[in-house]
């Protein structure tokens, strides 16, 4: 139990550190926007000091729901629970985010929610194919048992494309690089994405927390597929994600239809190929 709690708290702490590191590195690169080093944390604190733009209880309730499900899912992923529970938790979290975006009459919010639903089809396909592949290889869906398997037989060797697909799904959720579904096509952070236009003040702070927790969930999930000790695997997946965040700043943006096609090819196609490949071997 102590280990689970440590992982739970550790992931919550590490994800903001990734954003701080990204901020630090970007500040050091010439030609990039310069901000305060602690800008992401400062922004979060600032949000919590403001009042909401919309006073509708329902609109303010959705981020709370999303955050709750993110925390539950984080617990599941830290405890190495059944991957189907993690999928259901992430789906519920997304439901709250998407419905929340439609809960006001913000046209950009509604449009982003529509794209969010389309995006959901991609990453949930990836996750479910990953679950099916995982079961095919390890004959279990319990992630805690997957660690055991992964340490004895290198799981990555049998599921390389599934791991790559999951990483792409994490990039899709983080609006990174060629997988940016943001409307303004210049998403420096989640705040620029239209999905969160209905929120302001505390609600937006809760949304930001939710997104950090979600990033942590994806990183921990990917780390289960890596062959090293859990903390090393998590560190490796974190470094890869940070690299993707940094690369994202120099990658040109595309129209969302193109992004959707890219997402299906990389996040949907790779795990599907791996899954069929398991039957061929």
Partner 1 sequence: MGFIVLGVVLGPVVLLLISFLIPQGRASRIFVEISAVLFFLSAVYLFINPASHVDCFYLPHIVWKLIALLTTVFVFVVSLLDKHYIISVLTFIQSITLAVFEIFNSPQEAVPFLSFNYDGKVLLLAGSFIMAFFIPITLIYLKKYFSQKKSVKIQEKQIEAGILLLMAAFAGLAAANSVTGLFLFCQWMYIAIGLFLRAFKNSGRKRAAGILIVQQLVLTVWMASIPFIYQKTGSLYINGLNAEIGEIRVLIAVMVFALAIVIGCLIPDRYIWETFFSMPTPVSGIAALILSVMSPIAVLLKFSFLFTGLNNKILTLMIIFGSLVMVGGAYYSCISRKAMQILQGILMSVAGWGISTIFISRESMFFTVGYTAAAAITVTFLFACVTILEYMKGTQDVEHMYNLHREMPEMTIFMSAAMILFLFAPFYSALQRLLYVRFLADNPVSMLLTITALILVSAVIFRWLSVLLSAGDKTSIESDSYPVIFRIILPIAFVLVAAANLMLGSVYHYFQYQPIPMGYLPAENIEAYSNLEGILYMLTPGKGLIYAGGAIIILGACFYIMHRLNKSEKTADDTQSRVFYHYSLTAWIPSGANPGIILRTGWISLMILIAGVALSCLK
What number of residues does the chain have? 281
Q: Which residue, among 64, 89, 92, 94, has the nearest Cα to 76 in the 3D structure?
A: 89
> Closest approach of Cβ 275 to partner 1, in Å?
6
Compute the CA torsion angle 274, 277, 279, 280 (nearest 10 deg): -170
- Closer to partner 1 by CB, 25 or 99: give it: 99
> Closest approach of Cβ 125 to partner 1, in Å?
5
Residue 82, beta-bridge partner list: 142
> Closest approach of Cβ 217 to partner 1, in Å?
15
| DSSP symbol at 51 | P
- Closer to partner 1 by CB, 21 or 124: give it: 124
- Closer to partner 1 by CB, 13 or 107: give it: 107
> Closest approach of Cβ 40 to partner 1, in Å?
26
- Closer to partner 1 by CB, 87 or 176: give it: 87
**Where on the chain is the footprint of partner 1 (CB under 8 A)?**
53-58, 60-61, 64-65, 68-69, 72, 76, 81-82, 84-85, 87-89, 91-92, 94-95, 98-99, 101-105, 107, 110-111, 113-114, 117-118, 120-121, 124-125, 128-129, 131-132, 135-136, 141-142, 256-257, 260-261, 272, 275-276, 278-279
Across the chain, the runs of DSSP E, i.e. the strands, are: none
- Closer to partner 1 by CB, 186 or 279: give it: 279
Residue 142, CA distances (Å) to 74, 124, 220, 275, 276 in order: 15, 18, 14, 18, 22
Compute the CA torsion angle 133, 137, 141, 142 (nearest 10 deg): -140
């Amino acid at each position: 139990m102590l280990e689970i709690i440590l992982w739970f708290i550790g992931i919550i702490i590490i994800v903001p550190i990734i954003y701080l590191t990204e901020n630090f590195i970007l500040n050091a690169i010439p030609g990039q926007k310069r901000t305060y080093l602690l800008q992401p944390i400062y922004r979060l604190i600032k949000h919590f000091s403001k009042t909401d733009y919309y006073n509708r209880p329902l609109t303010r309730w959705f981020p709370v729901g999303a955050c709750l499900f993110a925390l539950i899912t984080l617990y599941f992923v830290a405890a190495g629970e059944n991957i189907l529970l993690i999928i259901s938790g992430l789906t519920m979290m997304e439901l709250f985010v998407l419905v929340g975006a439609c809960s006001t009459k913000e046209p950009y919010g509604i449009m982003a929610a529509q794209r969010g639903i389309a995006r959901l089809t991609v990453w949930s396909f990836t996750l479910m194919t990953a679950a099916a592949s995982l079961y095919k290889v390890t004959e279990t869906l319990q992630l805690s048992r997957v660690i055991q398997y992964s340490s004895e037989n290198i799981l990555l060797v049998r599921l390389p494309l599934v791991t790559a697909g999951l990483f792409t799904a994490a990039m899709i959720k983080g609006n990174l690089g060629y997988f940016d579904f943001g409307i303004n096509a210049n998403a420096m952070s989640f705040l620029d994405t239209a999905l969160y236009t209905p929120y302001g003040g505390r609600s937006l702070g809760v949304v930001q927390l939710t997104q950090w927790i979600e990033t942590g969930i994806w990183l921990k999930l990917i780390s289960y597929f890596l062959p090293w000790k859990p903390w090393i695997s998590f560190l490796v997946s974190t470094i890869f994600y940070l690299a993707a965040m940094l690369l994202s700043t120099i990658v040109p943006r595309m129209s969302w239809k193109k992004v959707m096609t890219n997402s299906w090819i990389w996040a949907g196609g790779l795990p599907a190929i791996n899954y069929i490949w398991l039957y061929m071997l």
